[in-house]
Amino acid sequence: MEKEIITASLSTKKRIAIIADTAISSQAETLKKDLQAELLLFSGGEAAKTRENKERFEDALLKKQFGRDTLLIGMGGGVVTDFTAFLASTYMRGVALFLIPTTLLAMVDAAIGGKTGVDTSFGKNQIGTIYQPDCIFVDMAYLKTLPDKEWISGLSEILKYGLIADSEIWELIEQNPSKWKEHISSFILSSIRIKTKVVQEDPLEQKGFRRILNFGHTVAHALETLSSYTMSHGEAVAMGLIAESFLSFHLGFLPKKEFERIETLIRKFPYQFKLPKAFASFLSAMQIDKKAKMGIPRFVLIDRIGHTLPFDGAYCKSVAETALKALSHWMESNYV
C-alpha cells in the first residue's frame, strides 16, 4: 500500500504536508522521507480537535509558505482525519487531500464521506464542512498493532451498519461474538460499501437519507460533550446504539425482542457503560445536535435490525420531552 500512496502523492506534483497522529509517528517519519514532505504531528486526541489547534496548524503551514499547490495527507484515526480534512477544506480556500486511516473506526466510518470538523464546549463537530478527499488509502496492516480498545471502538460503528442497513453483518457477529475479528476484511468492505452508497445518494445531507449514518450518535455526541471528550467515540456510540434502540422500542416502532437482541449482543463486548458526571445536562446537550429543529432533538429510529425508518424522507423524527425523560431515566437505571 505504501508504494501506491507514494505514487499517487508524487503524481499530483504538489508540495506535501503530512498531519499524523503521534501514535504512528515512526510510520509517518518514513512516509515523510519517501515523499520529501513536511510532517506536523497531532497529539491530544478528541480534546485537541479544536478551533485553536486548527489555527496553530494553519499558521505552521503559512510560515513554511505552503500555497494553493499543497497536498495535505491526514494519517491517523478519526480525530486526525476529521481535523486534517477540515484544515484542507479552508486552507487557501481548499487544497488537495489524501487520507490514510490507521484505526478500525477511521477505516469503516470517519475517513469516508467528507464530513469534517472540530469540537467545541457546546458539542462535537459543531464547526466544520463537507469536503471530499481525493484519495483514501485503507491498509489493514495498521490493524496489527491496534490496541484492544481501538478494536472495539471501531466495532461499534460496524454494529451500527448492521442495525441501519445490513442485518447480515449483525447476524454474523451475533452467531459467534468472540470471533468477530475473523471476519474483519468482510466487515470493513461491507461498511465502506454501505457508507459510500449512502453518501453518493445524499452527499450534502440535503435529502435526509444520509442521516441514517447518525443512528446512535445523537446520544453518543451528547455523552462525549458531557464528558469533556474524555469518553471515546466508540464507547459513546455503543451506549448510543442501545439507548436509541430503546427509544425506538419505547416509541412503539421496534419490537421488544429485537431491542433485547441488540442490548444483549452489544453488552457482550468490553464497553464501559458509565455515564459522565455531568449527565444531569443530558437533555440540553441533545438540543444542539445537528439534526435538532427549533431546539427539539430529532432521532434516527429503527423498526427492525437492518432497517431504518424513513419518516417521509426525513429519516429522523422529533421526540417529545416525555419520551426523552423516559430515555434519560432508562439510561440512569441501566448505565453505571
Active site residues: 93, 115, 157, 195, 205, 210, 214, 217, 221, 233
Instruction: Give the separation between CA 269 and CA 237, rounded to whole angstroms.
Output: 13
Instruction: Give the separation between CA 225 and CA 123, rounded to whole angstroms.
Output: 5
Instruction: Give the separation between CA 203 and CA 82, rounded to whole angstroms.
Output: 16
Query: What are the helix (H) ranges across 113-183?
Result: 148-164, 167-175
Instruction: Give the separation between CA 278 and CA 223, rounded to whole angstroms.
Output: 9
Residue 96 belongs to what H/E stretch? strand 96-101
Cα-based distances in Å from 106 to 39, 81, 156, 247, 301: 20, 8, 12, 27, 24
CB 163, CB 214: distance < 8 Å: no
